Structure 1
Amino acid sequence: MYNDNNRVFRRNVLAASIVATAAGSPVAFAQDQEQSRTVEEVIVTATKRETSLQDTPVAVTAVSGEMLTELGIQSSIDLVKVAPGLKVSWQGPWPSFKMRGGGVAGLNGPAVPLYTNGLAGGTSWAGWLDVERVEVMRGPQGTLYGANTLGGLVNIIHKKPDTEAFDYGVTVTAGDYNLLKQEGFVNLPLSDKLAVRLTASNTDQDPLIENKGNPEGGLRDENNNYVRAQLFFAPTDTVDMNLSYSKWHNDSMGNANYGYHYVGIPINSDTGRASPFGDVLDPRKGTIAGNEAAGGRTYHNGNPATNPTGYYEVDGDFENTWQNDTETLEFELNWDVGFADLTLRARHSETENLNVWDVDQSDAIDPALWDPRTFADSGWVSGRRWTGVIDGNTGVSEGDQVDVVLNSNSDGAFRWGLGFYWADASDPDKNNGTYVWAYNDANDMSANYVPSWTYWDFYGSKSRAIYANAEYDLTEDLTVSAGVRRQEDSGFGYRNYSADPDWCWCYYAPASYVKPVSGYTDASYYTETAEWSRNEYNDVGHTDYKLAFNYVLNDEINFYGSFSTGYIPGGASGTQILDPNELDAFEFGMKSDLLDSLRLNMALYHSEYTGLSYTVYEQTANTILSRQESGGSLTSQGLEVELLWLPTDALSINAGLVLDDTTLDEYALTESRFFEGPYNEEGGYYPVRVGRSGWFADGDTDRPVAPPTYILDGKEAAFSPGYIVNLDVAYMVDLGDMGTLTPGITLYHQADYKTMNEDFPFSRQDGYTTVDLRATWETPVENLAVKAYVNNATDELYKVSQNVFSNGRIMADYGRQRTAGIRVGYNF
């Protein structure tokens, strides 16, 4: 009833909003213009040509580099504060974007990817400095940007070298948890045609998640550095080119892969078993002695630690590790060929990654530990003592991209663009990764037993596409446009499992701490997959198109509308080839600049996703494995509102509102991680998981039954709050000869939402509000500024991911707790 009532409310509000959008009036915010500032024109490249934000028939949020600095946005997880509708979940090292239903359920890849300088790629943590702007494009961008942009995309655009003048800037930030961050840039003109720009940062911070068992092994610390070097050359007035090299090096402890906090185990008080619909959430992370039916860990730790750690604490003996090296080489060419402008962008990228963490969070060393190789209670094998479980992955990736676009540059009524895209990441020697699960030695962290179901995946892909778009001014006020893209994808994937049918012995080589991929990638540990069982897909084609209009009502207000499609290729998932995900989307919007000091933009959207995949769990000889099936669908519809108001020279207000209704139309999930399934009304029994291996049996007759399957048709999708509100207010105080002081406050509120698509009681996150405070002093010294800040000032606790781990243990990640610091910057 709660969800249904909320849905009715949201749909009524959406209907009313259509009327409000169509009736937008400039008299709604009458004010004294003599005391106000003018909202500046913003140029964006969302359509792969430079256009005014207000004349672009796409829902775009453009955030300047100065605004990123002022609000302290230095990674993807902070961008939600200023981009209405953008949501971030965070599990493992890499956060992921979600928007307009994209990324909330059953997709074969990211639906809201991160782009850098117009090409897919970049990291959530690096490159967010010395930025020209960030463009958040909402809705499918398939005709111009290709696959994987169903919900939209985020494009970071770096500042380029400037041939006009020498320039430099530097900043130092210090904060709690021993934060020390240094950033800087230097722009060096070598001539009126040649310039160099260098940008760099170095960040150190103690873990935000404390390890009670091992102070050296926390999570969410920072130990990374970033460098970017650019060379700009403009040999003529019609040609310029830019060559850019960047490298991000990280050697930290990262974030947990499945959620760092053990929420507890839901227990059915009638049966005493772990049940997803249990009426008691027992706050522990292990079994109760002698009661296996209650779920949780049954080995590795003599003391199951019945009291979980705090919300920002873990308890383990292993020093968690996240190492990453990412290098990119980019080239951009711009050439005015007379009748058109040619732009070529190319990128080569290489990444090595390792992350390993203490998944069982056990710190006890007990001589009576369970022995995973012999199932004896000795705790010793060949003089070694096995104390816990480590989990993670290693991987390498390497790929190339080229995008070429030719845009007409005439002032006539007809404008056109042609494009070609090519990408290659098909070398299995350079695109592969291992899944790591191992039982580690308390005295030698380089030694491990590895079970037979760990694996080494090899994969690769190629893509090529041609695309075209055209727009025509039917009248002085009405413009229509159309776009089409044909893309073909090829790829493969295969998986090699551990060679030993039971367990294999391997060393986690110390060298891997220096070169991540040297651990767990010895071919002798794995059985090579037969050629006939390898999956390949060749030239799987897909055509996307878009139809749109833009109508100029008057000098202040534009209306636009569009219908567009999108897709994500099926590709390989382990040993499977998945069907593509597809999307049909409608959008109707208004963009307005009212009284010069007020910008009000709105967008209504309706998106229909099909071909969604979902997870099915299956029992194997030693554990539970997952596989993917296709056939799900969902619908996402809503309203997005953005407001920028400069009522006086001193006051600025930036706000956003999102009303969203994202519903699973056809969707099902199979569950095998609890010891007990839901009550069977017809049979009158609880299906019970037999032993640790995962098959289910009739609770009354012990006959085998299918694992529980949950039909989620018509249910609310995960990470889809009914509404989101963001508000930023800043006021500048003139201090005379002492400069200016600008205090500011950023509020961000999400309504309640589910953290998982299953309708489990524990999956819901209550609505929450975060408050960020800041005060920036522009000193009398030109370009020197000091900023004090407190993020999440009220220390709000909220989940950013949740997962059901083996044996019914609920694990979650939470957003960052309260942090504070001071930033001193010169011209940066």
Structure 2
Amino acid sequence: MKNNKFQNLISKKSVIALAVANVFTAQAVFAEEAPSAEDSNIETITVTSAKRTQNIQEVPIAVTSVSGDELGDMQITDILSLEKAIPGLTVSSFGNNPRAVMRGAGAAGTTDIAVPIYHNNMYLPSSGQALAGYLDVERVEALRGPQGTLFGRNTFGGLINVITKKPELDEFDFGAAVTGGDYDLQKVEGFVNIPLGDKVAVRITAADEQRDPYVENVNNPNGGLKDSDYSYARAQVLFQITDDLSVNLGTSYWKDTGNGNLNWAYKSLGIPLDKDDPTKINPIDGFLDPRMGVYSGCADGDRAGGRSQAGNICNGDEFADIVNGDFKIDYDYTPDRELEDTAIFVNVSWDVANHNINLNAAAFEYESRNIMDAEYSGNPAWIDGTYGTRNSHQADLTITSTHDSKLQYTLGAYLFDDTDSDNKSAYIFGSLEESWYAYAGATPETPSWAYWNTEGFGGTKSTALYGQATYSLTDKLNLTAGLRFTEDEREWTSSNGLPWDASLRLGPELPTFDYTGKEKEYGKDDHTDYLLGADYQLTEDVMIYGTFSTAYIAGAVDNATHKFLDPQENEAFELGVKSTLLDGSLRLNGAFYTGTHEGLTTTAFIEQGDGVAVATQIPGGSIDAQGLEVEGYWDVTENLVVDFGISYDMSEYDEFNVATGNLVWNGEQPIGTDEVDANGNGVFVMDGKDTPYTPDVTVGLGISYTFDLGDMGTVVPHVFSYYNSGYETNRAPVFFGEQDAYTKFDVAVKWQSAGGDWTAKFWMNNATDELITTYTEILSRARVAQDYASPRTWGVRVGYNF
């Protein structure tokens, strides 16, 4: 087995080496044929990924920039649909907290967000805040690989920075758009830009969207899932105090009251049983028995798994069956969900003495509440959910050189603080009927909350000093070095449980927790990260570069021991090439990367001294990441445009254990598991296996053609295809957690008036109606549930100057 594994590794590395060689060879061949990029007919893309405005082809890191127009053309409306534009990005759906996975980072084991979302260079501390739709956006920049020497927090595997449009002093401008589509989609959006003299401008942006659920609830029409019901508004004021000094003040508000998603995956599939002996759980190569309830006292014997609150399948209980249809459920409870985010932000930019001094600061108030059906049936028994508040503020001050010199540098200081006394979070479990848990008197309007529940209270204060400099050793060779020192202070305490008396826990409002006698736990981490790099201009149009960088995530609080865990670390290497070829009509970039993620939280068994081992989460897991990314944009003719992105990812667990679900039944260890923890969870040893949400190959290909209709404007059909070789949707190697390879097509036809002010577009996403699994959960009693991406959808959008 070791020899086979070694041969596979050699084979993979050979593929990578060959692919890298082909990329570089292609660059060299094209470079010999192509004249200077000064004659390029491709629009120059400027980015701020290095904290200075640069041509994207001059930035020696793997960065993808997607303009606001391109977001609209590809029907990318939020973080959940962004992956088709970013090579190597996968976004999994986990309740109200989408998770971005990039270069293996975020797949497993980190105690905080591994690929965070930034908004105008400000870190969003909760991934749920990223669900707000993209509105009046200038561009989205995706930076792959660690970015710790220039950005704020947790850029373990990269970051995604959403940059919105700012007020403009030049002219009054406005726009509006209306969208309608299937599932009764109704969306209205608009903006207005108002100059108030030569020094002040105001920009106001707003949107409102409503859409019926993708997931139909056959039991409760009001309880469908994956709907949309949100409002968003943003207001900004720009003060151009002098030619060199500007201040932009803004505020935004977003509220989402749709049913959204369950806290876990929404669609129950059944119980994984052994094919030869259905009294045993077999998550490795068994079959799914399509039920939620128990199978007890039946004519052909008992079967393992299932939950009694869903009924007994052989007694004909209607709630024990699973309703047919991937987008159909049979739940009684109407979700109680509300997400609300308020932000205040400021940007000060001052050009002085051949430097730019830039201050970004923001304060966020984010609240989330999500209470859902917990037993996945129409039986009015259990509900569960989460709620939390996350108030935070942060500031990032940079000083960047702008003089004409061989040495260019950026110095910065960063502060983040979410230790607000109102920051709390809890998992809530309740019942809507009397039971042995003493839920007497509970009703759907007044659930009784679980007496064992506790609430968490705490936060993080992070400070950092950083700097990065580039020195031009020759006209062609640049050397770059960056350094960052970070100190994180964390605090945490847990409340007492709720009263045993159910009458004290009844009510429509969430319970109030008591902290009497509880003291805070404190922890502190500090870390120094660095970057070393070089780039070389092979020709006027081809640049090669290499970087070695590190990243860090501060340890969190162990839920079981309430002690602080050690941090996670990433050491990453990147070798890339950027080129503008074929008379400037083709932009072709590629990057090879490796990364070693260490200190990941993994399951371990701790000997208690009495012969009993207890499972807990400890630092010690690791992942090896490596792969290749290629992306390009080609103006084939004046009218025909092709854009593409390719990723090849070989990320795998190095040393890692996964405890998942309650798979033990009647004391039997599930087939294929390596251990069983004290709570009856099966534990898998994952060493050498693929990490979840990291497909081996993805290919995105977009083709558009412009038909010029003269005075009648233009018509542009656009087809985008996305191939995914498949991936694991659960951290464990279970047979029901595999998303097979698929190819998805999005199509659109856009008409634009001759003056460019009016547009009308028909679009259809997932035209072939592919069923795409985004998340798999193993619930208690070995029940399996999955989450799916959106089915085929279509719509028509009409806009003016938008």
Question: Considering the TM-score relative to the shorter chain, is it more than 0.5?
Answer: yes
1:586 aligns with 2:573: yes
Q: Deviations over 1:746-792 (max 9, x none)?
A: 11111121112211222211111111010001135641010001100
Partner of 2:705: 731
By how many angstroms is 1:708 displaced?
4.2
C-alpha distance in 1, partners of 2:289/2:310? 20
1:139 to 117, 141, 145: 145
1:642 to 628, 631, 634: 631
Per mean C-alpha deviation after superposition, the further-off stretch among 391-400 and 498-507 is 498-507
Distance 1:454 1:341, change over 3 A: same
Distance 1:677 1:57, change over 3 A: farther
Q: SS at the partner of 2:66?
A: strand
> Structure 2: which amino acid aligns with 1:346?
A
By how many angstroms is 1:796 displaced?
0.2
Partner of 2:610: none
C-alpha distance in 1, partners of 2:136/2:740? 37
C-alpha distance in 1, partners of 2:733/2:337? 33
The residue correspondences of 1:658-807 to structure 2 (distance < 5 A) are: 658-671=647-660, 673-676=662-665, 708-780=682-754, 782-807=756-781
Q: SS at the partner of 1:23?
A: helix
Percent sequence identity over aligned pairs: 36
Distance 1:303 1:740, change over 3 A: same
C-alpha distance in 2, partners of 1:39/1:799? 37
Partner of 1:516: none
By how many angstroms is 1:271 displaced?
5.1
Partner of 2:83: 80
Partner of 2:99: 96
Q: Give the unaligned 5+ runs of structure 2.
A: 312-316, 435-441, 607-613
Q: SS at the partner of 1:447?
A: coil
1:536 aligns with 2:546: no
1:418 aligns with 2:411: yes
Per mean C-alpha deviation after superposition, the further-off stretch among 17-26 and 410-419 is 17-26
Distance 1:216 1:39, change over 3 A: same
C-alpha distance in 2, partners of 1:627/1:128? 40
Distance 1:187 1:773, change over 3 A: same
Distance 1:234 1:527, change over 3 A: closer
* Two-structure CA RMSD over aligned residues (Å): 2.8
Q: Deviations over 1:593-629 (max 9, x none)?
A: 01210000000000000000025699xxxxxx98522
Q: SS at the partner of 1:507?
A: coil
C-alpha distance in 1, partners of 2:631/2:413? 33
State the TM-score, normalizing by the size of structure 2: 0.91
Partner of 2:594: 606
2:109 to 101, 106, 111: 106
> Structure 2: which amino acid aligns with 1:562?
T
Partner of 1:389: 382
Q: SS at the partner of 1:737?
A: helix
> Structure 2: which amino acid aligns with 1:564?
S
Q: SS at the partner of 1:25?
A: helix
> Structure 1: which amino acid aligns with 2:728?
K
Q: SS at the partner of 1:588?
A: strand
Partner of 1:45: 48
Distance 1:554 1:28, change over 3 A: closer
Q: SS at the partner of 1:68?
A: helix
C-alpha distance in 1, partners of 2:252/2:567? 33
2:119 to 110, 113, 116: 116
Partner of 2:641: 652
Q: SS at the partner of 2:447?
A: strand
Q: Deviations over 1:186-225 (max 9, x none)?
A: 0000011110000000001011111110001111111110
1:566 aligns with 2:551: yes
Q: Is the 8 A contact 2:36 2:541 kept in 1?
A: no
Partner of 2:291: 284
Partner of 2:611: none
Q: Is the 8 A contact 2:673 2:683 kept in 1?
A: no
By how many angstroms is 1:257 displaced?
1.2
C-alpha distance in 2, partners of 1:253/1:685? 37
Partner of 1:494: 493
Q: Deviations over 1:459-504 (max 9, x none)?
A: 1110111111111100000000100000100011122242346967
C-alpha distance in 2, partners of 1:617/1:798? 35
C-alpha distance in 2, partners of 1:662/1:62? 24
By how many angstroms is 1:329 displaced?
0.3
Q: Is the 8 A contact 1:275 1:676 kept in 2?
A: no
C-alpha distance in 2, partners of 1:633/1:504? 48
By how many angstroms is 1:49 displaced?
1.1
Partner of 1:522: 512
1:315 to 319, 323, 330: 330
> Structure 2: which amino acid aligns with 1:460?
G
2:159 to 143, 153, 158: 153
By how many angstroms is 1:15 displaced?
1.2
Distance 1:76 1:4, change over 3 A: farther
Partner of 2:393: 400
1:294 aligns with 2:282: no
C-alpha distance in 1, partners of 2:615/2:450? 16
Partner of 1:351: 366
Partner of 2:438: none
Q: Is the 8 A contact 2:661 2:778 kept in 1?
A: no
Per mean C-alpha deviation after superposition, the further-off stretch among 735-744 and 392-401 is 735-744
By how many angstroms is 1:127 displaced?
5.0
Distance 1:529 1:177, change over 3 A: farther
Q: Give the unaligned 5+ runs of structure 1.
A: 365-386, 510-518, 619-624, 697-706
C-alpha distance in 1, partners of 2:673/2:553? 39
The residue correspondences of 1:422-437 to structure 2 (distance < 5 A) are: 422-427=415-420, 429-437=421-429
By how many angstroms is 1:409 displaced?
1.3
Per mean C-alpha deviation after superposition, the further-off stretch among 708-717 and 216-225 is 708-717
Q: SS at the partner of 1:165?
A: coil
C-alpha distance in 1, partners of 2:775/2:504? 33
> Structure 1: which amino acid aligns with 2:740?
D
By how many angstroms is 1:452 displaced?
3.3
Q: Is the 8 A contact 1:616 1:669 kept in 2?
A: no
> Structure 2: which amino acid aligns with 1:730?
S
1:184 aligns with 2:190: yes
Partner of 2:261: 255
By how many angstroms is 1:289 displaced?
3.8
By how many angstroms is 1:457 displaced?
0.9
> Structure 1: which amino acid aligns with 2:475?
E
Partner of 1:809: 783
Partner of 1:629: 618
By how many angstroms is 1:508 displaced?
4.0
By how many angstroms is 1:423 displaced?
1.1
> Structure 1: which amino acid aligns with 2:484?
R
Partner of 1:548: 533
Partner of 1:473: 472
C-alpha distance in 1, partners of 2:146/2:23? 22
By how many angstroms is 1:677 displaced?
10
Q: Deviations over 1:672-728 (max 9, x none)?
A: 6113499889xx999999xxx9756xxxxxxxxxx6432111111111111111011
Q: Is the 8 A contact 1:771 1:793 kept in 2?
A: yes
By how many angstroms is 1:279 displaced?
2.0
